[in-house]
């Protein structure tokens, strides 16, 4: 069996995409879950890009025990030194250095000849190897690179000491038949290819990232780079859950490879990411979308009831997908709740069960039926790591078709001080946002506002997701709030965005150019 190294870049390529940035605590939480999921390498960030990213890579490197921790560095000494400084306390640090090798990138972006690029790549790898045993080199835009030149680069960086050579489809341009050929050419033509792992890193601009990654694995690649929920630059990266489940479900075809992923942790990892970033996956997303295991058509339902495999190629349990069962009501006790929390896959250590139980009771009083999704929300709110600069104490709304919508809001700050203010607005939601802004002394521009019912039923909790651009810095932050009262859910979402913003403000990303 060939072991496929799973290299997760959710915290680097994924986090780089607009709307997905994470603070240090969020990255650590995500990294610990990726460790439980069983990834082999966590790319934790791009250390030189900002002090916040440096700190985050350092903390992740010091926290996780099993996976290697990688940091991205351009092919120059400064990046590599800073990268290593962030990584050096990891059990298994990996420097990941890269330079573009396609004509178009070399000519227009780098303004370097192929000879200069080759030299720079070799120097960077040698320099990195002086600091760190485990060095990965990426030939950026490899799929638009002259294949002979690509093979030469691969050969030379292996000679210089790279343990892994990554062949990225940076712009999501290739197709499976072509990529398979590129990888098999490298496997057959590069004389020292057996001295390094060949990796692939596919973007999804044509919706082919997963297909291309699988074709490359078939052709001999032994590392696959991917992200949870497929997040990443532009259309994203190859989705980890799709690559892994394709190999699992079609083990008749992928019969010569194995990997260390615990598929039962997939759903939880995906949910953690959506709860951190506030960005949901589409309902029809393969493997982890809300509808991924829902059979709507009568013929399908009939088939599944007679024999599950008629329409199901994998079980929801295999990816840790919770069944949509009605669970508890207001007469349920602590034990039943605890059992359900464990069944949902949560590690109860670190969860304040008493607090969760109290919140559950309050909700059960408002709602007759409490579903798995409701419990997940309570837990995620309780374990939320966004330090609360402000929390909502009280909200009162006056609204109606003849009244001027007015919100009175009371907030508590981190020191326990209470402030109250009121505002009118175009509607009750607008009025509550304005009242919050008056207390916090910030101005935000609402870019997106979305409301969903979390479960079925008129008494369902409302989930509000907002995206707010804060005027003093232009930073856009997503926030989420839940309540059976949708105005309260909106105010909570706005406060969540504000708290995340205040946490993040000091860690704004520095622009890094691609010129070495
Ligand atoms: O897409 C890409 O080429 C990258 C490299 C830096 C690996 O993200
Ligand atoms: Zn990428």
Identify the CA nearest to 287 among candidates 230, 340, 372, 203.
Answer: 230
Mean pLDDT, range 278-292, rounded to an integer: 90
Matching residue, tokens 């343990």: 163
Q: Is 23 in the pocket of ligand 1 (CB under 6 A)?
A: no
* Distance (Å) of CA 164 to CA 43, 155, 196, 401: 14, 11, 5, 65
Indicate whether 25 pLDDT > 90: no
* Distance (Å) of CA 454 to CA 156, 287, 379, 447, 461: 54, 20, 15, 22, 6
Mean pLDDT, range 178-195, rounded to an integer: 98
| pLDDT tens track for 134-166 | 999 999 999 999 999 999 999 999 999 999 999
**Band (474; pLDDT cuts 50, 70, 90):** confident
Of the bound ligands, which one is closest to the alpha carbon of residue 199? 1
Share the mean pLDDT of the chain: 91
**Band (347; pLDDT cuts 50, 70, 90):** low
Residue 168 phi/psi, 5° resolution? -80, 140
Q: In angstroms, rounded to a whole number, what is the distance separating the alpha carbons of residues 402 and 440?
A: 29
Distance 334 CA to ligand 1 centre (A): 48
**Band (331; pLDDT cuts 50, 70, 90):** confident
Please tell me the predicted confidence (pLDDT) of residue 275: 79
Q: In angstroms, rounded to a whole number, what is the distance separating the alpha carbons of residues 476 and 447?
A: 9
Distance 229 CA to ligand 2 centre (A): 15
**Band (3; pLDDT cuts 50, 70, 90):** very high
Please tell me the predicted confidence (pLDDT) of residue 345: 64
Identify the CA nearest to 233 among candidates 294, 189, 177, 168.
Answer: 168
* Distance (Å) of CA 142 to CA 94, 118, 237: 21, 13, 15
Give the containing element (helix H, strand E) for 215. Answer: helix 209-218
Which comes out higher in pLDDT, residue 44 or 414? Answer: 44
Indicate whether 505 pLDDT > 70: no
Indicate whether 182 pLDDT > 60: yes
Q: In angstroms, rounded to a whole number, what is the distance separating the alpha carbons of residues 494 and 474?
A: 16
Tokens (6 digits) for 425: 């607005």
Q: Is 98 in the pocket of ligand 1 (CB under 6 A)?
A: yes
- For residues 8 and 31, the answer to whether their CB atoms sit within 8 Å is no
Which atom of ligand 1 lies closest to the CA of 237? 1
Mean pLDDT, range 314-333, rounded to an integer: 79
- For residues 453 and 444, the answer to whether their CB atoms sit within 8 Å is no
Which atom of ligand 1 lies closest to the CA of 166? 7
If you count them, how many residues does the chain have?
516
Please tell me the predicted confidence (pLDDT) of residue 325: 57
Which residue's CA lies nearest to atom 3 of ligand 1?
170
Percent of the chain past pLDDT 90, that is, above it, reads 65
Q: In angstroms, rounded to a whole number, what is the distance separating the alpha carbons of residues 397 and 377?
A: 24
Candidate from 230-244, 398-412, 432-446, 453-467 with smallest mean pLDDT: 453-467
Which comes out higher in pLDDT, residue 465 or 165? Answer: 165
Please tell me the predicted confidence (pLDDT) of residue 516: 45
Tokens (6 digits) for 270: 């995906």
Q: In angstroms, rounded to a whole number, what is the distance separating the alpha carbons of residues 8 and 240?
A: 8
Mean pLDDT, range 483-499, rounded to an integer: 92
Sequence-distant (6+) residues with CB within 8 A of 297 are none
Please tell me the predicted confidence (pLDDT) of residue 454: 78
Please tell me the predicted confidence (pLDDT) of residue 512: 61
- For residues 277 and 236, the answer to whether their CB atoms sit within 8 Å is no
Tokens (6 digits) for 10: 């959710």
| pLDDT tens track for 33-53 | 999 999 999 999 999 999 999
| pLDDT tens track for 358-408 | 988 888 888 777 877 788 778 777 765 445 789 999 999 999 989 999 999
Which atom of ligand 1 lies closest to the CA of 72? 6
Q: Is 444 in the pocket of ligand 1 (CB under 6 A)?
A: no
Which atom of ligand 1 lies closest to the CA of 98? 6
pTM of the model: 0.80
Mutate which of 80, 170, 234 for ligand 1 pocket (most atoms within 8 A of beta carbon)? 170
Q: In angstroms, rounded to a whole number, what is the distance separating the alpha carbons of residues 65 and 62?
A: 8
Q: In angstroms, rounded to a whole number, what is the distance separating the alpha carbons of residues 158 and 331?
A: 65
- Report the SS3 class of residue 509: coil
Q: Is 437 in the pocket of ligand 1 (CB under 6 A)?
A: no
Tokens (6 digits) for 27: 């990255």
Q: Is 168 in the pocket of ligand 1 (CB under 6 A)?
A: yes
**At CA 177, angle to CA 171 and CA 178, rounded to 5?**
50
Q: Is 97 in the pocket of ligand 1 (CB under 6 A)?
A: no
């Amino acid at each position: 069996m060939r072991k496929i190294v799973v290299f997760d870049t959710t915290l680097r390529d994924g986090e780089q995409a607009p709307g997905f940035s994470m603070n240090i605590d969020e990255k650590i939480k995500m990294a610990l879950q990726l460790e439980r999921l069983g990834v082999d390498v966590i790319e934790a960030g791009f250390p030189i890009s900002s002090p916040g990213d440096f700190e985050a890579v350092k903390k992740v490197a010091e926290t996780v025990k099993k996976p290697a921790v990688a940091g991205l560095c351009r092919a120059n000494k400064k990046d590599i030194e800073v990268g290593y400084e962030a990584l050096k306390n990891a059990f298994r640090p990996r420097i990941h250095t890269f330079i573009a090798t396609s004509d178009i990138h070399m000519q227009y972006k780098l303004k370097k000849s192929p000879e200069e690029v080759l030299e720079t790549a070799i120097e960077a790898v040698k320099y990195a190897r002086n600091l760190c045993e485990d060095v990965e080199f990426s030939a950026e835009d490899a799929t638009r690179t002259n294949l002979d030149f690509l093979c030469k680069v691969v050969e030379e960086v292996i000679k210089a000491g790279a343990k892994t050579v990554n062949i990225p489809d940076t712009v999501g341009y290739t197709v499976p038949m072509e990529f398979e050929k590129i990888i098999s050419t490298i496997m057959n033509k590069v004389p020292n290819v057996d001295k390094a792992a060949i990796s692939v890193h596919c973007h999804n601009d044509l919706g082919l990232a997963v297909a291309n990654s699988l074709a490359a694995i078939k052709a001999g690649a032994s590392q696959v780079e991917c992200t949870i929920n497929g997040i990443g630059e532009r259309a994203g990266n190859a989705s980890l859950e799709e690559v892994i489940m394709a190999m699992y479900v079609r083990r008749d075809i992928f019969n010569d490879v194995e990997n260390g992923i615990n598929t039962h942790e997939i759903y939880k990892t995906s949910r953690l990411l959506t709860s951190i970033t506030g960005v949901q996956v589409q309902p029809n997303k393969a493997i982890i979308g809300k509808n991924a295991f829902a059979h709507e058509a009568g013929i399908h339902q009939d088939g599944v009831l007679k024999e599950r495999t008629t329409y199901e190629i994998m079980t929801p349990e295999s990816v840790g997908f919770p069944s949509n069962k009605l669970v508890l009501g207001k007469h349920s006790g602590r034990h039943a709740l605890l059992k359900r929390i464990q069944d949902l896959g949560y590690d109860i250590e670190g969860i304040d069960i008493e607090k969760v139980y109290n919140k559950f009771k309050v909700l059960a009083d408002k709602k007759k039926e409490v579903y798995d999704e409701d419990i997940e929300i309570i837990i995620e709110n309780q374990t939320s790591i966004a330090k609360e600069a402000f929390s909502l104490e009280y909200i009162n709304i006056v609204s109606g078709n003849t009244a001027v919508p007015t919100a009175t809001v009371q907030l508590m700050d981190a020191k326990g001080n209470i402030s109250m203010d009121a505002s009118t607005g175009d509607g009750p939601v607008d009025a509550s946002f304005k009242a919050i802004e008056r207390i916090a002394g910030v101005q935000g521009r609402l870019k997106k506002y979305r409301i969903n019912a979390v479960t079925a039923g008129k008494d369902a909790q409302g989930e509000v997701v907002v995206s707010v651009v804060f005027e003093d810095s232009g930073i856009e932050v997503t926030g989420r709030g839940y309540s059976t009262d949708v105005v309260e859910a909106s105010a909570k979402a706005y406060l969540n965005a504000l708290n995340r913003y205040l946490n993040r403000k000091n860690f704004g990303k520095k622009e890094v150019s691609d010129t070495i």
